[in-house]
A and B are shown apart, each in its own frame.
Chain A
Amino acid sequence: MAYEAQYYPGATSVAENRRKHMSGKVEKLREVSDDDLTLVLGHRAPGSDYPSTHPPLAEMGEPECSVREMVEATPGAKAGDRVRYVQFVDSMYNAPSTPYFRTYAAAINFRGVDPGTLSGRQVVEARERDMEEVAKFQLETEMSCPALASLRGATVHGHSLRLPEDGIMFDMLDRCRLENGVVIMHKDQVGRAIDKKVDFGKPMSEEEAAKRTTIYRVDNVAFRDDAEVIEWVHTIFEKRTAYGFKPE
């Protein structure tokens, strides 16, 4: 019998969603075109070539190295792309993903990425076209809700604040707005105005967000409701403590 990776314990919807995010088997909910993605990332003009920091690997003549022979370079590394970043922010009010699970999703399912996990934001650094692949995956699937998650290169503090009346996570730089029932982004991820309003579609309803979230909350699925998760957390805590204990 072939081994199947097991990602996360638990029987609740939150545990199931966490497994989905980690395994990358998530539902695609919306389409974001390449040009729209380039616009909101703000690293280069849409349609322009990827600027490079070194010639393509094929032209460089790499040294003889067994590791280089075993591991194929990512498309971005092969082409010599610059390293660029994408940063997501997820509201604490039942956002679909969280920094930890965005990081798991990136690190498990993509190569050549450097995810950074912080309390309120999650950044992925990678060669530009590899980074865009991760960003597109996370934006188009159920890992993001246009109202409760957003692309923010700077100024992320809205994640921990109450939602405004329209349900769009507070943003000091006002990058996303609700217009005619859909969420549009009219600035790039650092707050520079862009030429076009990028449409990210309808926000999730409160019920749908509660169903798709990876956040345990007392007012939705409480952490303590999931006996298997608690058991594993206790096990890991106990073992970490026991192995870290060094009497002298």
Chain B
Amino acid sequence: MVDPTTNLEDLIQIEICPARFLSPETAQELLNELTNIEGITRAFIHGPRLPTTVPYGPATGHDVDHKFSKTIKIGETELDLAVIFGRIRLEILNEEVRENIREVCERTLPMGYEFRQGLFIQKRQTVSDYAKRGPNADPTTLGLADPKGKVGNRVCMLNPAE
């Protein structure tokens, strides 16, 4: 959860892109290691969608039951993977946190990865965000989900505010 006193503009954003799509087991290991690092404010997992039923074609409506569509456990929170873990974008407090994350990646991603710093999660509301969520929207969910989609089951709070 972002501290309301933190200036969003000062936060650093990084992206970790493994050389391969991660299995749920490796994704769980990486995410658990990341949650142990202090100073990560938000995270965004990106990858191709894992549908529950065949969306189109002659088999439309048949169950997919995908091998990667599993429930993973991050700390005490259970999370249904709706996408295969392709890359993760993180918003962090400072450069020290960034180096800690790099160490975790060295340990958990033996297949290799790309690690870069840049702007990956939007910092200001777009018109679509404004139209969907209004002027007083929670800034923590900004850029984490499609403003035209349903936020409910896509954004997961690991350490909700008391």
The secondary-structure label for the interface of chain A is loop
Distance, CA A166 to CA B58, complexed state (A): 28
Tell me whether B48 and A172 are in contact (CB under 8 A): yes
What residues on A are CB-neighbors of B26 within 8 Å?
Answer: 165
Contact among A157, A172, A188, A192 with B51 in the assembled complex (CB-CB below 8 Å):
A172
The 0/1 profile, CB within 8 Å of A marked 1, for residues 111-144 of chain B is 1000000000000000000000000000000000
Asked if A127 is an interface residue, CB under 8 A from chain B, the answer is: no
In the complex, identify which listed stretch (B6-14, B34-42, B62-70, B93-101) lies at the interface while the others stay far away.
B62-70
Whether A193 is near chain B, meaning CB under 8 Å from some CB there, is yes
Q: Kindly state whether residue A190 has any CB partner on chain B within 8 Å.
A: yes
Interface residue count on the B side (C-beta < 8 Å) = 27
Task: Count CB-based A-B contacts (< 8 Å).
Answer: 70
Is the Cβ of B54 less than 8 Å from the Cβ of A173? yes
Give the chain A neighbours of B64 by CB distance below 8 A: 172-174, 191
Evaluate whether A162 and B86 lie within 8 angstroms (CB atoms) in the complex, with A157-B48, A170-B48, A191-B57 already known: yes
Shortest A61–chain B CB gap in Å is 36
- Distance of A86 from chain B, by nearest CB (Å): 14
CB <8 Å contact, B57 and A153 = yes
Interface residues contributed by chain A, number (CB under 8 Å): 21
A155 at the interface (CB under 8 A from B): yes
What are the residues of chain A within 8 A of B82 when measuring CB–CB? none
Task: Identify the stretch in B16-24, B71-79, B151-159 within 8 Å (CB) of chain A at 4 or more residues.
Answer: B16-24
Of all chain B residues, which has the CB nearest A176? B67
6 A-B pairs with the lowest CB-CB distances in the bound complex, closest first = A154-B57, A191-B59, A164-B21, A174-B66, A190-B59, A192-B59
* Residues of chain A having any CB pair with chain B under 8 Å: 153-155, 157-158, 161-166, 170, 172-174, 177, 188, 190-193
A-B contact pairs, 7 of them (CB 8 A): A155-B57, A157-B48, A162-B18, A162-B19, A165-B20, A188-B59, A191-B59
